[in-house]
Structure 1
Amino acid sequence: MSHSHHTKTLPDQLAAPAFVAGWRSRALVIGAIFSAVAVVLGFLSGDGWSHFLRAWLLGLMITFGFSVGGMALLMVQYLSGGKWGLLVRRPLEAMSRTLPIPFLYFLPVAIFGVNFKKLYLWAQYPDAASAAKQHLITNEQAHAIIFKHGMLNPTTFWVTSLFCFAVWFLYSYLLNSWSLKRDADPAPNVPYWQTKFENISGFGVVVYAILLTACAILWVMSLDPTWYSTVYGLQFLVGQGYGVLALVILTLIGLSNAEPIKTIFRVTEQHDLGKLCFAFTMLNMYLAFASFLIIWSGNSPEEIPWYLDRIRGNWGVIATLDVIFHWLIPFSLLLSRDLKRIKSRLVVVCCIMIFARCWDMWWLIEPNFADARRNLHFSVGMLEYLAVPTALIAFWMAYYFTQLTKRPLVATNDPHLAEILEPEHAHA
């Protein structure tokens, strides 16, 4: 490839820099430390092991969101095109290849939560009518469990979940293997590869949305069998994009301290990714507030209790902080053009976004349980929500960093490579 004297050139080495191994080591150390803390907390508190499993579910949903959400955003990029795809492709591919970790995290939730009946009310009381007569559950809960039995039963839970993972493993394999084949193509046929990736991604995004909705309902929404929502899956979908984008930007900024990302990560593309984060923040805000407003104004006795469980009994403080962390702070900061173009400031916003995603998931999960709904109280066991997810996320991050080192960080046969190597002022 010939370049004018104004155009930058790629370095000879396109592999991840050596300091990524240091990131992985630190992640493993953090995971080991917080794993030990989580086990100790389990023995120190009477409710510790109960909260351990709930916190494990939180860690599963966050890491699952990174893996599957990364694959989904990868497919969205193939459909939309643009220079930003050259930057995010390798991190997103690495995220998609971490899917074995969330699958392993899923197994304890399914085994202990369903088979040992430690999480889900519908698993604990399959004979809901008899349980209601004994006042073990309310009549509303019994009615919901009976009505939804076709979906809320152990067989459907296992079969649906395993089917979803199988489909996502297939898509992860195809997207990653085809990416390597395109890079190895000696005379890249750009229209052929674009069409190939667009075809699988167009159908894949639809499949992803459907399967994600099913898993969000089974794994989280069914913790309260009386709750139903037509936008629940969509909220998880947008939330995954929100968290994945923040992690991608943090990854790229970290990698930009060395080659090859240092050469191609221009301020222009950094600004574009910041604007995309802003768009996801607005969409996330819109869906959550619209759902709350519609249900609250409708004032239906079948729907309002779900929000009351998460507002009353001091949960209102958590909900308020959720609004501040999840939407107000990122929205306000990302309005600034300068902030999106300054790496150190954008790093702070992205860290807040990932923390807010964990905070929001805690707000979704914990009030489903009888000891917590409308009754936020501190216990030693509650600290599991800090220890367990931190450990699970740290181990996932270690595997993610390992995957980053497996392939060159730049797709050399990308049609946008020449454009992204142009100097910054060429687009001024």
Structure 2
Amino acid sequence: MAHYSHAKVLPADLSAPPMVKAWQARALVVAILFAVTAVVLAFVGGASGWDHLWRGYLVGLTLTWGFSCGGLLMLMLQYVTGGKWGLLLRRPFEAMSRTLWLIILYWLGLGLMLSRLYMWANPGLVKEGVDKGLINTTQFNAIEHCLQWKHPMLNVGTYWVVGAICFAIWFFYTSRLNAMSLQRDKDTLAATPYWIKKFENLSGFGIVVYSLTMTALSIYWVMSTDVTWYSAVYGLLFLVGQAYQVLAFAIIVALALSKVEPFKTILRGVEQYDLGKFTFAFVMLNMYIAFGQFLIIWSGNLPEEINWYMDRINGHWGIICTIDFFLHWLIPFSLLLSRDLKSNKTRLTRVCQIMIVAKAFDLFWLVEPSYKDAARNLHFSWGILEYIAVPVAMTALWVACFCWELQRRPVVQVNDPHLAEILEPEHAVA
């Protein structure tokens, strides 16, 4: 006996459901509460509290930058590779990319803190470290040599020029891709091959340009917190890390939206499972690159390279490193091996939430030991809680902006060749 199933039909209203506005309101409340908490902690912690507030701000900037510009990266990657996953995640990616204006404001705020975060912006920090006994003679000589050798790049003037160029390029790609997406919606389905080729041509070169510009700012913002450190794959680590966190966030949004229309119609079990597999691939790639850098440097055992890892392993930092390993790689890797988990909305959401928390935790491990008072010296202070308060406040404000952007256009793109396929029933038995 034959059983026939009819294709599903999209609802007339494709706008973002009311829950998105509720998310926005809750995010704003969280942002305000944690911003107030951050200021209180700074006053309680004294000088150390304010120093950690600036460091927490750096982590918050880097994390939200990963969501915003990483959304642009994944949007271009989708246009180059194609596939049904783009129909599901394209609108969240676009909304993430359009929050670039907030990241620009965060970047301008970082510019006001350069003298407290970077030795290349304030050589007085080197003398301060020597006076406090945090920098010995060997370290002093190495720092002075690196400051002199890297000065053509690591100086305040170049910081502003390079940052402005990078943001101008990202703004061009963001505005162009988002504008073309709306133009494609207004065109006929017959024009799809033209649009596919146009998006591919712009995005293919855009991925290369973004990789280079993103590497430049990852060096300025994070790598240069320790002027003696260098790595040939540092930019690649951030590139893959951004895709890691963006994919996790986009899946959380898509699964939450699938509870109501119109996403309820288009998110089938097979596409959800494919998204889980895609996430698993980025978890493995992230793990491979990070471990590859560690293995090469550790086996080389060169004093000018290995100290960076020693600062992040000794003095109880090994505990943080171990937790980072479990949260960032082992737990997501192990859980995403399960076929049942990738088919379960609640469990897949939990894994993606762990991945985002792990990314923030990894940034803490990257940033805090770069400062001599914390290198090989993990210790509790009220100030260190800024690494929770400030990034949460900044991320919550970013989420509110993302929700606002998500409501500005339909959450499903109807002029897509994969739409007919994705509306087919999952189990049609002939």
Question: 1:300 and 1:209, CA in 2 relative to 1: closer, same or farther beyond 3 A?
Answer: same
What's 2:91 paired with? 90
Q: Distance in 1 between matches of 2:274 and 2:189?
A: 30
AA paired with 1:105?
Y
What's 1:36 paired with? 36
Question: 1:134 and 1:90, CA in 2 relative to 1: closer, same or farther beyond 3 A?
Answer: closer
AA paired with 1:193?
W
AA paired with 2:102?
I
Structure 1: runs of 5 or more not aligned: none
AA paired with 1:322?
D
Residue-by-residue CA offset, 1:60-86 (whole Å, 9 max, x unaligned): 001000000011001000011111110
What's 1:140 paired with? 142
Match among 151, 164, 168 for residue 162 of structure 1: 164
Q: Distance in 2 between matches of 1:388 and 1:284?
A: 26
Paired residues for 1:136-215 under 5 Å? 138-186=140-188, 188-215=190-217
**Secondary structure of 2:61's partner?**
helix
135-144 or 94-103: which moved more? Answer: 135-144
Question: 1:135 and 1:32, CA in 2 relative to 1: closer, same or farther beyond 3 A?
Answer: closer
The alpha-carbon deviation at position 127 of structure 1 amounts to 11
Please give the TM-score of this superposition, normalised by the length of structure 1: 0.96
Give aligned-pair identity as a percent: 57
Question: 1:170 and 1:305, CA in 2 relative to 1: closer, same or farther beyond 3 A?
Answer: same
Question: 1:235 and 1:122, CA in 2 relative to 1: closer, same or farther beyond 3 A?
Answer: same
Question: 1:296 and 1:44, CA in 2 relative to 1: closer, same or farther beyond 3 A?
Answer: same
Q: Is the 8 A contact 1:221 1:227 kept in 2?
A: yes
The alpha-carbon deviation at position 185 of structure 1 amounts to 1.0
AA paired with 1:109?
L
Please give the TM-score of this superposition, normalised by the length of structure 2: 0.95
Q: Distance in 2 between matches of 1:134 and 1:61?
A: 29
What's 1:385 paired with? 387
What's 2:355 paired with? 353
Match among 121, 133, 138 for residue 123 of structure 1: 121
What's 1:69 paired with? 70
AA paired with 1:39?
V
The alpha-carbon deviation at position 40 of structure 1 amounts to 0.5
Q: Distance in 2 between matches of 1:127 and 1:112?
A: 13
AA paired with 2:340?
D
Q: Distance in 1 between matches of 2:130 and 2:148?
A: 11
Residue-by-residue CA offset, 1:152-208 (whole Å, 9 max, x unaligned): 011111100111011001100000000000001145401110010000000000001
Q: Distance in 2 between matches of 1:134 and 1:73?
A: 45
Q: Distance in 2 between matches of 1:281 and 1:5?
A: 37
Residue-by-residue CA offset, 1:215-271 (whole Å, 9 max, x unaligned): 101110001010000000000000000000000000001101110000000111111
Q: Is the 8 A contact 1:55 1:388 kept in 2?
A: yes
Does 2:27 correspond to 1:27? yes
The alpha-carbon deviation at position 112 of structure 1 amounts to 1.7
**Secondary structure of 2:393's partner?**
helix
Question: 1:357 and 1:144, CA in 2 relative to 1: closer, same or farther beyond 3 A?
Answer: same
The alpha-carbon deviation at position 426 of structure 1 amounts to 4.7
What's 1:257 paired with? 259
AA paired with 1:48?
G
Paired residues for 1:402-417 under 5 Å? 402-417=404-419
What's 1:320 paired with? 322
Q: Distance in 2 between matches of 1:271 and 1:347?
A: 12
Q: Distance in 1 between matches of 2:195 and 2:176?
A: 13
Does 2:242 correspond to 1:240? yes
**Secondary structure of 2:304's partner?**
coil
The alpha-carbon deviation at position 135 of structure 1 amounts to 9.0
The alpha-carbon deviation at position 110 of structure 1 amounts to 1.4
Structure 2: runs of 5 or more not aligned: none
Question: 1:411 and 1:243, CA in 2 relative to 1: closer, same or farther beyond 3 A?
Answer: same
AA paired with 1:412?
V
**Secondary structure of 2:15's partner?**
coil
Q: Is the 8 A contact 1:75 1:205 kept in 2?
A: yes
AA paired with 2:10?
L
Question: 1:17 and 1:298, CA in 2 relative to 1: closer, same or farther beyond 3 A?
Answer: same
**Secondary structure of 1:371's partner?**
coil
